[in-house]
Amino acid sequence: MAHDDLTPAPQVGPLFTETDLWDAADLDLDAYRERTGLPAGLAPTAETLRAVQRAHLASIPFENVELVLGRPVPLDVPALVDKMVRHRRGGYCYEQNLLLASVLSRLGFAVTGFAARVVVGANGHVRPATHALLRVETEEGPYLADVGFGGGGLLEPIPFADGHQEAQGGWGVRLDRVEGLGGPEWLLRTFDGREWAPQFAFTTAGQARTDYAIFSHYLTSHPRSPFLGRLTAQRIGPGTQYKLMNTTLFTAHPDGTGGQDEIPARDVPRVLEEVFGIGLDEREREIVVGRVSEFINM
């Protein structure tokens, strides 16, 4: 049969809806608003997007305590809400940004997930694209939103525009179109008081929750994963960034100043609670102290 004898293909609509992609119907939005201090009745505007990211970062820290405790990291929305909202804990990039995507979708935003290669500290090596981030459509145009990069990321969403730079709480951020692996990519850089430092690079190929589940399995099981073999907790706010790596607490400021303090392993649970708002029960504190002691003696 000749190709021109084929019956015309039917028109095909969108393969997925935003709710399908981010399981927004499974979200307890009231509980999330209570956790983050956000009001009810938020409209899907650029100002709402900024308010949600600021509130999320102020309330929910970046951390990998569950992995230190030897527990799995599920990514379904009810599990994310139970951990980060009801039990007032934090999470790493997939947990953080999948929860944010569900919230934003529920509020009426169109959200697209991306995967980024972390370049800070890579020393020229090509890392896999294992960081999650989001593009969010607003009446002002598209924005890049990210609550899961830890201590060196965005305080607020940034306009998705080549060459855009701005100061956020004293921290400088800039987004550029650059030549990447096989074609153009986007690069996010931050200003540390001395120079612009590349943080991560990404393409605009859309990612879904199922894609992130595969990436997450790698990060929670591969022996060379940066989330195994050490404890980390991070938080960034206006004027100050905190990062705990095992028993070292780093502090940094937008003018390039900062410092670090060594703390005894037995005090790590106290620092987790006082600096990062991560409360542990007695058994969890014992496990964390023991595991951190093992990490620093490896």
Please report, rounded to a whole number, the percentage of residues in the chain having pLDDT higher than 90.
Answer: 76
| Across 95-118, average pLDDT | 96
pLDDT of the residue at 16: 64
> Is 162 assigned a catalytic role?
no
| Across 33-42, average pLDDT | 97
Q: Distance (Å, rounded) from C-alpha 280 to C-alpha 272?
A: 9
User: From its phi and psi, is residue 270 left (phi > 0), alpha (psi between -120 and 50) or beta?
Assistant: alpha
pLDDT of the residue at 238: 87
pLDDT tens by residue, 171-209 = 999 999 998 877 789 999 998 778 899 999 999 999 998
* Of residues 227 and 180, more confidently modeled: 227
pLDDT of the residue at 186: 97
- The residue from 23, 56, 93, 192 that is catalytic is 93
pLDDT of the residue at 245: 97
Is the pLDDT at 1 greater than 80? The verdict is: no
Decide: 105 and 126 in contact? Cβ < 8 Å.
no
pLDDT tens by residue, 244-259 = 999 999 999 988 899 9
* Of residues 16 and 70, more confidently modeled: 70
- Choose the weakest-confidence range: 13-22, 161-170, 208-217, 254-263: 13-22
Is the pLDDT at 18 greater than 60? The verdict is: no
Is the pLDDT at 276 greater than 90? The verdict is: yes
Q: Which two tokens stand for residue 60?
A: 């929910």
pLDDT of the residue at 40: 96
* Of residues 8 and 46, more confidently modeled: 46
Nearest to 280 by CA among 237, 233, 245: 233
> Is 253 assigned a catalytic role?
no
| Across 212-222, average pLDDT | 91
| pLDDT tier, 2 (very low <50, low <70, confident <90, very high otherwise) | low
- Choose the weakest-confidence range: 35-44, 117-126, 218-227: 117-126
| pLDDT tier, 77 (very low <50, low <70, confident <90, very high otherwise) | very high
pLDDT of the residue at 207: 94
Q: Distance (Å, rounded) from C-alpha 243 to C-alpha 65?
A: 14
| pLDDT tier, 4 (very low <50, low <70, confident <90, very high otherwise) | low
Residue 221 amino acid letter: S
pLDDT of the residue at 56: 97
Three-state secondary structure string covering the chain: CCHHHCCCCCCCCCCCCHHHHHCHHHCCHHHHHHHHCCCCCCCCCHHHHHHHHHHHHHHCCEECHHHHCCCCCCCCHHHHHHHHHHCCCCECHHHHHHHHHHHHHHHCCCEEEEEEEECCCCCCCCCCCCEEEEEEEECCEEEEECCCCHHHCCCCCEECCCCEEEEECCEEEEEEEEECCCCEEEEEEEECCCCEEEEEEECCCCECHHHHHHHHHHHHHCCCCCCCCCCEEEEEECCEEEEEECCEEEEECCCCCEEEEECCHHHHHHHHHHHHCCCCCHHHHHHHHHHHHHHHCC
- Choose the weakest-confidence range: 5-19, 41-55, 153-167, 175-189: 5-19
- The residue from 3, 146, 253, 255 that is catalytic is 146
Q: Distance (Å, rounded) from C-alpha 139 to C-alpha 109?
A: 10
Mean of the per-residue pLDDT values of the chain: 92
Q: Which two tokens stand for residue 280?
A: 């542990």
| Across 150-174, average pLDDT | 92
- The residue from 23, 56, 131, 192 that is catalytic is 131
Nearest to 171 by CA among 185, 151, 187: 151
pLDDT of the residue at 42: 97
